[in-house]
Structure 1
Amino acid sequence: MIKVTYIISDINKALAFEWTAQYIDKKRFHLSFILLNPGQSDLFEHLLTSGFEVISIPCNGKKDWPLVLWRVFKIFKQLKPDIVHCHLIQANIIGLFASRLAGIKKRIYTRHHSSLHHKYFPKGVWWDKLSNKLATHIVAVSKTVQNILIDWEKADAHKVKLIPHGFLLESFAEVNRERVLAFKRRNDINESQFVIGVISRLTEWKGVQYIVPAFKTFFQRHPNTILVLLNAQGDYEKEIKQLLKAIPEANYRLITFEDDIAAAYKAMNVFIHVPIDEHSEAFGQIYVEALAASIPSIFTLSGIAADFIREGCNAFVVPFRDSAAIYKQLKKISTDYENAKSVAYQGTKDVQQRFSLDKMIKSLENLYDS
C-alpha cells in the first residue's frame, strides 16, 4: 500500500479534499493529513470524524514557518510517507522543504493559483519558483496554469502534469424545489423575479465592476430583475458598493456566505463570471458548477474556461472588461430563454464529460502509482 500524506494550508472547508479522501482507492492508498491553519477547521473535524489520521498545526504566517517546518519534518520522519502532496502556498513551501529534508522521494504540489504573484505580489514569484524546484511533480489544474509554470516560470515541463479538478456534479443538478425556495426566502428574493447571479470575491481581477453597470442597463428595461452577489466581500468591496448605488436596494443582494450553494445556482436564471484577463483565474470552479446546474451563463475565457467554453455552444462569451457586451448577452438570453437553456444543457453535458470526480481521482491515482 502506498502511503500519501496531504499537507494543506489556510483552508476551513473544502469539498474537494473531502471527496478525495472518501473516494480514493483505499486498498491501494493510505491517506493522512497535515493541516496548517491559524486555528481548527471544519476540514479537520470532517477528516477526524471520517477516521483519517489528521494533524492540525497552528500557522499564522512567515513568523511561524521555522517552527512549523521543524514539526512537519518530525511528523514526516514518524509517518514515513511514500508521497507528500502539498496544497496552497504555505503548505507548498513548508511541505516541500520538510519532505526533501526527510528524504521523501516523491514530492508533489498542486498549483492552485496562476498569475496572482506575477501581477500583484512579485516577491511571491520567488517562492513559486522555489516550489517548482523542490517538487518532483507539479499538478497544473488547467492549461493556463500549465503555461504559466512552463513559459513564465521555466519549470521543468517533465514535472508538470495536467489534472483538472473533479466534482460530484450530480450535487449541483439534483436540487429539490424546497431548497431553492428556502434560499429565496432567506434572501428576500421574490419568486417572480428574474435572478442574475454572481459568485465571486469582491476583488479587482474578478471583474464584478463590469457586471454591475451591465445589470443597471438591463434593469432599466427589465425592472423585475434582481442581481444576487454571493461571497460578496473582499478588497474591492468599497468600489463595488459605490457602483451599486446606481441601483435600487430592492434590486440587489449582497450575500457574504451561503451554505447551500447548489440551491443558490438553481435559484438563478442567468449566471455571470467575467475575470478581467485570460490568466487571472487558475481554474474557476464556478464555471463548472454553473453549467453542472444547467444555468445559462455569461463568461470571459479565463482559467479552465479557455479549455472548453465555446460561444453559443455551451455558454455565452464576452470580451474582457466589457460591460456593454455583458448587457448584450443578457438581452440575448432574456429574449430567447429557451435557446439559452439549450445552450446551458450542452454545457452540462460538456462538464459531465470533462470534470467528473471519478476522472480526477483516477488521474491522481495514476500519478501516485507512476
Structure 2
Amino acid sequence: MPTPEKLNLPVKVTYIFTHPIRWVPFELVAKYIDKSKFAIDYVILNESDPMIACLQELHIPYIVTSYSDYSNTPEMVKFLYDHLLKNQTDVVHTHWFAGSLAGIQAAYYAKVPVRIFTREHPSIKYYSRHAASKHRLIWECATNVIGVTHKSKEGMIEDGIPEHKITLIPTGFDVSEYENVETSRIEQLRAKYLGNHQSPVIGVAARYVRWKGVEYVIEAFKKVLDIHPNALLVLAGTGIDRTNLEEKIRKARKEDIVAPQYDDILSISEKLSQLPQQSYIEIPFEADLFALFKLFTVFVHAPTDSIQETFGQVYVDAMLSRVPSVITLAGSAADHAVHRENAWVVDYKNSDQIAEGILALLSDTHLREKIIHNAFVCAQQYDIKNHIQRLEQFYISELQKRRE
C-alpha cells in the first residue's frame, strides 16, 4: 500500500455534511484521525448542527453556512467551490444527501483529486425523497463511494454505481466508552427511569417509525408478561414528546402537512395501550446510551425487512454493552449475526419468534452468557481504531493513485 511519505504532508481533508442530531461516529473520526498526517477542516451546512460543539472542543477548523433549500444548490456549490480552492483540499469526504449533493459537485468543479461520499441510505428504489437524477449526479461526480455494510453496497450496485468505485468501511465505535461506564452513571439512570424495578428489563432503542418493527416487539412483550408478569419494557430513543401530541397531529392534518410518521406513532400507541401501564416506559431521548444499555437484561431490535438500517448502530451498541440481543437481520447484523451464537435471530414481522427469543435468553443462563461473550468478541471488528486505520489508508492510497 502507498505510504504517506510519498505525498506532501499533511494531506488536506475537508468534510462536508450536516445532521440534525448528534452522530458520534463523525465525532470519533474528528477526534482520532492522525493530525500529523491529515490536516482536516469541516464545512457544516446547518447553523444548529450538534457537530459544531465537538469541533470547538477539539479546536478543529470549521465554517458554518445554511443550506435548507435545494433550490439554492448552485449558490451552495459556488460557496463550497471557493472554499475548496482556497484551502487547496486534497480529499473531500461528504455525508448525507445535502452534503453530498452540493459538496461532491463543488469538489468536482474545483478538481479536488479524491472526492468521496459515504452513503447511509438503502437503494434509491426504496429511498424516494430525492429524484434519482440527483443521486446519479453525486456518484458521477465522485471518485469513490464508501458503504458501511454489505447491504448498503448491494443497494449501490443495484442503483448502478460502478462496483470499482465502492469501498466497504464499517462504522467505528469507541470500545473503551462501553467498557468504562461508571457505576454512578448507571445508577443515576436506574433511579431516573426504573425506580426500584428489579425484574427483567427488555430494552428497545428505536424511533416510532413502522419499519423499525416496534409494534412486533410490543406484541411479543405481551407474551413475555405471561411468564414474567413484572417484566419492564423500556422504549428508548422514540423521539416522541407526548405533550399535546394528539393536538399536534390534528393541527398537522388540518394544515395538510405531510407527516406519515404520525400514523406510525398512533399505531404504536394503540399497541402500547394494550399493555398494563406500569409495564413499560418511553424515553424520547437519552444522551448517555452507554449507561442506558447497562440497564437492559435483553435488547430487541426488529426491523421489518433487510433493506433498512444500512447505517444502523444499535446492534453493535448492544454487543459492546454485553447485552444479549433478539434481532432481525438488517444493516450490520446481516454481516455478523449468527443465530444462538452471538444473537437470537428471528424472522421479520414475527412477534412469536421475538417472544421465544426473549424467554430463551431470560431462562437459559448458559446460552445468555455464551451469546454475550461471542457478541462482544465479534464487535471488536468495529473498534474505531480499525475504522480510522482503514480510512487513513484509503485516503492515502486513493490520493496516491491520482498523483502518480
| TM-score where L is the length of structure 2 | 0.87
- What secondary structure does 1:3 align onto? strand
Given that 1:11 and 1:43 are in contact with CA atoms closer than 8 Å, whether structure 2 keeps it comes out as no
Q: 1:265, CA displacement in angstroms? A: 0.4
Aligned residue type for 2:139: N
Deviations 1:207-230 (A, max 9, x none): 111101000111132111111111
Aligned residue type for 2:171: H
**Which of the residues 140, 164, 177 maps onto 1:171?**
177
Given that 1:173 and 1:294 are in contact with CA atoms closer than 8 Å, whether structure 2 keeps it comes out as no
Structure 1: unaligned runs, 5 residues or longer: none
Q: In the alignment, what sits opposite 2:134?
A: 127
- What secondary structure does 1:334 align onto? helix
Are positions 1:143 and 2:150 aligned together? yes
Q: 1:122, CA displacement in angstroms? A: 6.4
Q: Distance in 1 between matches of 2:225 and 2:324?
A: 18
Q: In the alignment, what sits opposite 2:121?
A: 113
Q: Distance in 2 between matches of 1:131 and 1:337?
A: 50
Q: 1:120, CA displacement in angstroms? A: 4.9
Aligned residue type for 2:175: L
Alignment of 1:78-117 (within 5 A): 78-115=86-123, 117=124
Mean alpha-carbon deviation: is it higher for 4-13 or for 82-91?
A: 4-13
Q: In the alignment, what sits opposite 2:161?
A: 155
Given that 2:92 and 2:115 are in contact with CA atoms closer than 8 Å, whether structure 1 keeps it comes out as yes
Alignment of 1:1-370 (within 5 A): 1-37=10-46, 39-115=47-123, 117-121=124-128, 123-150=130-157, 152-233=158-239, 235=261, 236-352=264-380, 354-370=381-397
Aligned residue type for 1:111: R
- Does the C-alpha gap of structure 1 residues 299 and 13 become closer, same or farther in structure 2, counting only changes over 3 Å? same
Aligned residue type for 1:177: T
- Does the C-alpha gap of structure 1 residues 313 and 365 become closer, same or farther in structure 2, counting only changes over 3 Å? same
- What secondary structure does 1:363 align onto? helix
Mean alpha-carbon deviation: is it higher for 161-170 or for 174-183?
A: 174-183
Q: Distance in 1 between matches of 2:159 and 2:92?
A: 23
Q: Distance in 1 between matches of 2:336 and 2:127?
A: 27
Mean alpha-carbon deviation: is it higher for 336-345 or for 254-263?
A: 336-345
Given that 2:11 and 2:39 are in contact with CA atoms closer than 8 Å, whether structure 1 keeps it comes out as yes
Q: Distance in 1 between matches of 2:224 and 2:367?
A: 19
Given that 1:295 and 1:341 are in contact with CA atoms closer than 8 Å, whether structure 2 keeps it comes out as no
- What secondary structure does 1:10 align onto? coil
- What secondary structure does 2:125 align onto? helix
Q: Distance in 2 between matches of 1:284 and 1:187?
A: 25
Aligned residue type for 2:133: W
Given that 2:239 and 2:285 are in contact with CA atoms closer than 8 Å, whether structure 1 keeps it comes out as no
Q: Distance in 1 between matches of 2:329 and 2:58?
A: 38
Deviations 1:309-336 (A, max 9, x none): 0001001000011111001111111111
Given that 1:114 and 1:279 are in contact with CA atoms closer than 8 Å, whether structure 2 keeps it comes out as yes
Given that 1:315 and 1:343 are in contact with CA atoms closer than 8 Å, whether structure 2 keeps it comes out as yes
Q: 1:189, CA displacement in angstroms? A: 4.0
Q: Distance in 2 between matches of 1:49 and 1:214?
A: 44
Q: 1:126, CA displacement in angstroms? A: 3.1
Q: Distance in 2 between matches of 1:125 and 1:252?
A: 42
Aligned residue type for 2:41: S
- Does the C-alpha gap of structure 1 residues 183 and 125 become closer, same or farther in structure 2, counting only changes over 3 Å? farther
Q: Distance in 2 between matches of 1:341 and 1:51?
A: 42
Given that 1:141 and 1:163 are in contact with CA atoms closer than 8 Å, whether structure 2 keeps it comes out as yes
Give identity over the alignment, percent: 30
Q: Tell which structure's C-alpha radius of gyration is larger.
A: 2
Given that 2:121 and 2:127 are in contact with CA atoms closer than 8 Å, whether structure 1 keeps it comes out as no
- What secondary structure does 2:378 align onto? helix
Q: 1:66, CA displacement in angstroms? A: 2.9
Higher-RCO chain (CA-CA 8 Å, sequence separation at least 6): 2
- What secondary structure does 1:58 align onto? coil
- Does the C-alpha gap of structure 1 residues 121 and 205 become closer, same or farther in structure 2, counting only changes over 3 Å? same
Given that 1:195 and 1:270 are in contact with CA atoms closer than 8 Å, whether structure 2 keeps it comes out as yes
